[in-house]
Structure 1
Amino acid sequence: MARVTVWNEYRHERESEVVADIYPDGIHAVVADALREGGHEVRTATLDEGPEHGLTENVLDETDVLVWWGHAAHDEVRDAVVDRVHERVLDGMGLIVLHSAHYSKLFKRLMGTSCSLKWREAAERERLWTIEPGHPIADGIGEAIELEEAEMYGERFDVPAPDTLVFTSWFEGGETFRSGCCYRRGSGKVFYFRPGHETYPIYHDEDVRRVLRNAVEWAEPGDGPTPEFGNAEPREDIDTDDDRTVH
């Protein structure tokens, strides 16, 4: 099973009674419990956990998949930590980006776009349609996930076209949204999953929890060869004398 770190700002839960009632120990605690139910080894880290936000080199070296939830304090994440996490993703660490973390420094860097979208808070119904039922992230999920109350995210979602789109959402107000997007960046796998606004009990939903477990298993690094880069010795016997090089 994967070694997982669940990262969360952990600000709303300490500042809002509404959020604290739903997530008394933090969103990260509920997400971590969902992943432990799948047998994964899970630790948590938060924004105010020291100058490195709990994401030290040692923590990341012991992380196969990082789960990231952020909303109100994207700008407070130190660039040096973003650099470190970004490099680990390119080296093969999996990354699950949740809800409003679409606007995190890390996700925007990986996508190379603004990652902007439409939004509305009206406690409206959301239906996430499973459009790739054969994908591992959709394992055990029915034709659709029904969420009675959700924050609306609407198109256009300014991200690159996903390698695979697993879920797409419809909202009661009429908008649609690409809600389950798979990417590869370097040797790492990235999954963006839309549901998760802090004032609704999204991460208590059993289908959402199953998707999170499936996503971790999908994003976990495999056992393939480690890529090698740079100047390479020939595998066959060739003449390597060439005075024209400028390197």
Structure 2
Amino acid sequence: MDPIRVTVWGENRHEQTEEHVAGLYPEGMHETIAAGIREHLGDAAVVRTATLDEPGHGLSEPVLAATDVLTWWGHAAHGEVADEVVDRVHRHVLSGMGLVVLHSGHWSKIFTRLMGTTCTLRWRNEHDRELIWTVDPTHPIAQGVPHPIVVAEDEMYGEHFDVPPPDELVFISSFSGGEVFRSGCTWRRGHGRIFYFKPGDQDYPVYHHRDIRRVIANGVRWARSDRPERVLPELLRYDTGEFFTGRSYQGPTA
């Protein structure tokens, strides 16, 4: 099988404006995330990065066409992501491109559009210990990780998490304040597979954590489509008495 073509997208703003974050991620969180994927997938993946301030946010049509799985981290500049880029990413996900959404990417335009909800949640940024419990130990994304994964410090996310019920719940996190959160969830939209994974606030070195890096790499492997080509799902209209031959369906009167 050909290597998985991965594009790691990062907002890359905190690293440019906050000394503390730059110290944790001197090359940007996107490069640290990319390094973790390379570390765990090796020759099974070809990984590139893209950032918000590149032309077209680094997500041109040729780039997306050559991407099997896109990872997404954003936080401070969700509103700066151009709607035309969101439209392009959305079309590719429905056509079969995998999407791995990380941490505060839950409020990104692309994730809220795919979910159809606010994707809001409870949060607190006070150096909480996070325990990531495996709910489904048979799931490919959970392979090779301890139960629980211990993250010494991270931002707390808590329920209620306003997303549609996940197709699969892989992880639940608990925090030192007693809160819990559905921290590893999957959905399918069209032909595309989506994995949301919570850990990774910019104020903490979470993306250097060996087990977090493994989960992200596992998520990339899982999100890759096994379809032979990328194409939007086709909805056909079948008139009364027709069972095998449909025609293009644009709406109730088309």
Structure 1 and Structure 2 fold alike (TM over 0.5): yes
Deviation at 1:235, TM superposition (A): 9.0
CA contact (8 A) 2:96 2:227 kept: no
Structure 1 moving runs of 4+ over 3 Å:
223-232
Of the three residues 5, 8, 11, the one matched with 1:6 is 8
Question: In the alignment, which residue of structure 2 is the partner of 1:104?
Answer: 108
Q: Does 1:22 align with 2:27?
A: no
Percent identical: 57
- Counterpart CA distance in 1 for 2:156 and 2:243 is 55
Partner of 1:189: 193
Residue 243 of structure 1 is matched in structure 2 by none
Instruction: Using structure 2 for the length normalisation, give the TM-score.
Output: 0.89
Instruction: Give the Cα separation in 2 of the matches to 1:228 and 1:15.
Output: 45
Tell me the distance in 1 between the aligned counterparts of 2:185 and 2:243: 39
Tell me the amino acid that sits aligned with residue 10 of structure 2: N
Residue of structure 2 aligned with 1:200, choices 194, 197, 204: 204
Alignment of 1:82-231 (within 5 A): 82-223=86-227, 228-230=234-236
Q: Which runs of 5+ in 2 are unaligned?
A: 246-252
Unpaired runs of at least 5, structure 1:
239-245
- Write out per-residue CA displacement over residues 113-153 of structure 1, whole angstroms, 9 at most, x where no aligned residue: 00000110110100000010000000101221000101000
Larger radius of gyration: 1
* Cα offset, 1:178, TM superposition: 0.3
Tell me the C-alpha RMSD between the 2 structures.
Answer: 1.7
Count of aligned positions: 237
- 1:81 equivalent to 2:82? Answer no
- TM-score, with normalisation over the residues of structure 1? 0.92
Aligned-partner SS, 2:161: coil
Query: Are 1:70 and 2:101 matched, yes or no?
Result: no
